[in-house]
Chains A and B, each alone.
Chain A
Amino acid sequence: MAVRDFDLIQGTLDLLVLKCLGTGANHGYGIAQRIHQLSADALRIEEGSLYPALYRMEEQGLIESEWRTTENNRKAKFYTLTRKGRATADAELDSWRRLSKAVTRVLRALEQGA
Chain B
Amino acid sequence: MKLRAPRMVRRLMAVFRWGAQDDEMDQEMAFHVDAMTREYVRAGMSEADAARAARTRFGSVLRHKEAGHDVRTAHLDQLADDVKSGFRQLVNARGFAVVAIVTLALGIGVNASVFAVVKSVLLDALPYPESDRLVRIYGGAANRSAPRGPLSAGTVNDIGERQQAFDSLAAFTDIASEGVYGAETGPQVTTFTWVEPQFFQTLGVSPSVGRTFRPDDAINGMVALSGGLVGGDASGPVILSHQAWTRLFASDPGAVGRDVRIDGIPRTIIGVLPAGFIGPMGEVDFYFAFDRRPVVSDAIAARRSQWLGLVGRLKPGVAQDAATREVEQIWTALVREYPADNATLGASAMPLREAMVGDTGTPLLVLMASSGLVLLITCANLAATMLSRALTRRKEFAVRAALGAGRARLVRLLLTESTVLALTGGVAGALLATWAVQRVGELAGRALPVFANPSLDWGAMLVTSALAIGTGFLFGVAQAMTVGGTDTQRTLRDESRGSSESRSSRRLSGMLVAGQMALCVSLLVGAGLLTRSLWAMASASLGFEPERVLTGAVQLPTRDYSDAESRFLFRQRFEERLQTLPGVESVATATSVPTLVRQRTGVTPEGVDSSVAQPFVLASLVSDDYFRTLGIPLRQGRTFDSQERPDSPPTVVVSESMARRFWPNGDAIGRRLRLGPNPESPLIEVVGIVGDVRNDRARRDPEPMAYRSTRQFPVPIVTFLVRAEGDPLALVKPIERELAALDRGLPLQRVMTLPTLLGEGLAGRRLPVLLMTAFGALALLLASVGVYSLFASMTAAREWEFGLRMALGSRPGAIAALVLRQGAGWIAAGLAIGALGIVIVVRLVRDLLYGVSPFDPATIGASIATLVACATIALVIPVRRATRVDATTALRAL
Chain A contact residues, CB within 8 Å of chain B = 27-29, 32, 46-48, 51-52, 55-56, 59, 61, 64, 66, 74-77
Taking CB as reference atom, which chain B residue is nearest A82?
B1
Taking CB as reference atom, which chain B residue is nearest A57?
B71
Contacts of A76 in B (CB 8 A): 28, 31
Judged by a CB distance under 8 angstroms, whether B59 is at the interface is yes
Contacts of B25 in A (CB 8 A): 51
Q: Is the CB of B67 within 8 A of A59?
A: no
Q: Is the CB of A48 within 8 A of B11?
A: no
Q: What's the Cα separation between A52 and B73 when bound, in Å?
A: 12
Q: How far is the CB of B66 from chain A (nearest CB, A)?
A: 9
Q: Is the CB of A77 within 8 A of B31?
A: yes
Q: Is the CB of A59 within 8 A of B11?
A: yes
Chain B contact residues, CB within 8 Å of chain A = 2, 4, 7, 11, 24-25, 27-29, 31-32, 34-36, 58-59, 63-64, 67-68, 70-72, 75
Q: Is the CB of A64 within 8 A of B2?
A: yes
Q: Which among A55, A75, A77 has the highest number of chain B CB atoms within 10 Å?
A: A55
Contacts of B71 in A (CB 8 A): 52, 55-56, 59
Q: What's the Cα separation between A95 and B72 when bound, in Å?
A: 27
Q: How far is the CB of A37 from chain B (nearest CB, A)?
A: 12
Q: Is the CB of A51 within 8 A of B29?
A: yes
Q: Which among A47, A61, A76, A77 has the highest number of chain B CB atoms within 10 Å?
A: A47
Contacts of B7 in A (CB 8 A): 59, 61
Q: Is the CB of B32 within 8 A of A47?
A: yes
Q: What's the Cα separation between A75 and B63 when bound, in Å?
A: 23
Q: How far is the CB of A34 from chain B (nearest CB, A)?
A: 12
Given A61-B7, A74-B31, A77-B28, A51 and B36 contact (CB-CB distance below 8 Å) = no
Q: What's the Cα separation between A55 and B22 when bound, in Å?
A: 12
Taking CB as reference atom, which chain B residue is nearest A53?
B71
Q: Which among B25, B32, B34 has the highest number of chain A CB atoms within 10 Å?
A: B32
Taking CB as reference atom, which chain A residue is nearest B11?
A59
Q: How far is the CB of A70 from chain B (nearest CB, A)?
A: 8
Q: Is the CB of B31 within 8 A of A27?
A: yes
Q: Is the CB of B72 within 8 A of A59?
A: yes
Contacts of A28 in B (CB 8 A): 28-29, 31-32
Q: How far is the CB of A92 from chain B (nearest CB, A)?
A: 18
Contacts of A55 in B (CB 8 A): 68, 71-72
Q: How far is the CB of A47 from chain B (nearest CB, A)?
A: 5
Of the candidates A52, A56, A61, A75, the one whose C-beta lies within 8 Å of that of B31 is A75
Q: How far is the CB of B203 from chain A (nearest CB, A)?
A: 61
Q: Is the CB of A48 within 8 A of B28?
A: no
Q: What's the Cα separation between A55 and B29 when bound, in Å?
A: 13
Q: Is the CB of B31 within 8 A of A51?
A: no
Q: Is the CB of B35 within 8 A of A47?
A: no
List the 10 closest pairs (A to B, CB-CB), nearest first.
A52-B67, A29-B35, A55-B71, A29-B32, A56-B71, A77-B28, A52-B71, A55-B68, A76-B31, A51-B64
Listed A/B pairs (9) with beta-carbon separation below 8 Å: A27-B28, A27-B32, A28-B28, A29-B31, A47-B58, A51-B64, A52-B67, A59-B7, A75-B31
Q: How far is the CB of A45 from chain B (nearest CB, A)?
A: 11
Q: Is the CB of A77 within 8 A of B72?
A: no
Q: What's the Cα separation between A75 and B27 when bound, in Å?
A: 9
Q: Is the CB of A48 within 8 A of B59?
A: yes
Contacts of B63 in A (CB 8 A): 48
Q: What's the Cα separation between A52 and B64 when bound, in Å?
A: 7
Contacts of B36 in A (CB 8 A): 29
Q: What's the Cα separation between A29 and B59 when bound, in Å?
A: 14
Contacts of B27 in A (CB 8 A): 75, 77
Q: What's the Cα separation between A76 and B34 when bound, in Å?
A: 11
Q: What's the Cα separation between A28 and B30 when bound, in Å?
A: 11
Q: Is the CB of B70 within 8 A of A52?
A: yes
Q: Is the CB of B24 within 8 A of A48?
A: no
Supply 5 further A-B pairs (C-beta < 8 A) apart from A27-B32, A52-B68, A77-B24. Answer: A29-B35, A29-B36, A55-B68, A55-B72, A75-B31
Q: Which among B24, B29, B71 has the highest number of chain A CB atoms within 10 Å?
A: B71
Contacts of B64 in A (CB 8 A): 47-48, 51-52
Q: What's the Cα separation between A96 and B886 when bound, in Å?
A: 53
Taking CB as reference atom, which chain B residue is nearest A49?
B67
Q: What's the Cα separation between A48 and B62 when bound, in Å?
A: 10
Q: What's the Cα separation between A76 and B28 when bound, in Å?
A: 6
Q: What's the Cα separation between A28 and B33 when bound, in Å?
A: 11
Of the candidates A47, A61, A74, A77, the one whose C-beta lies within 8 Å of that of B59 is A47
Q: What's the Cα separation between A46 and B64 when bound, in Å?
A: 10
Contacts of B67 in A (CB 8 A): 48, 51-52
Q: Which among B11, B35, B72 has the highest number of chain A CB atoms within 10 Å?
A: B35
Contacts of B75 in A (CB 8 A): 59
Q: What's the Cα separation between A70 and B24 when bound, in Å?
A: 16
Q: How far is the CB of B73 from chain A (nearest CB, A)?
A: 10
Contacts of B24 in A (CB 8 A): 77
Contacts of A52 in B (CB 8 A): 64, 67-68, 70-71
Q: What's the Cα separation between A55 and B71 when bound, in Å?
A: 7
Contacts of B11 in A (CB 8 A): 59
Taking CB as reference atom, which chain A residue is nearest B65?
A51
Q: What's the Cα separation between A74 and B28 when bound, in Å?
A: 11
Contacts of A48 in B (CB 8 A): 59, 63-64, 67
Contacts of B35 in A (CB 8 A): 29
Q: How far is the CB of A102 from chain B (nearest CB, A)?
A: 23
Taking CB as reference atom, which chain A residue is nearest B38?
A72
Q: What's the Cα separation between A61 and B63 when bound, in Å?
A: 24
Q: What's the Cα separation between A75 and B29 when bound, in Å?
A: 12
Q: What's the Cα separation between A98 and B27 when bound, in Å?
A: 39
Q: How far is the CB of A54 from chain B (nearest CB, A)?
A: 8
Q: What's the Cα separation between A64 and B4 when bound, in Å?
A: 10
Q: What's the Cα separation between A55 and B28 when bound, in Å?
A: 12
Q: What's the Cα separation between A51 and B71 when bound, in Å?
A: 10
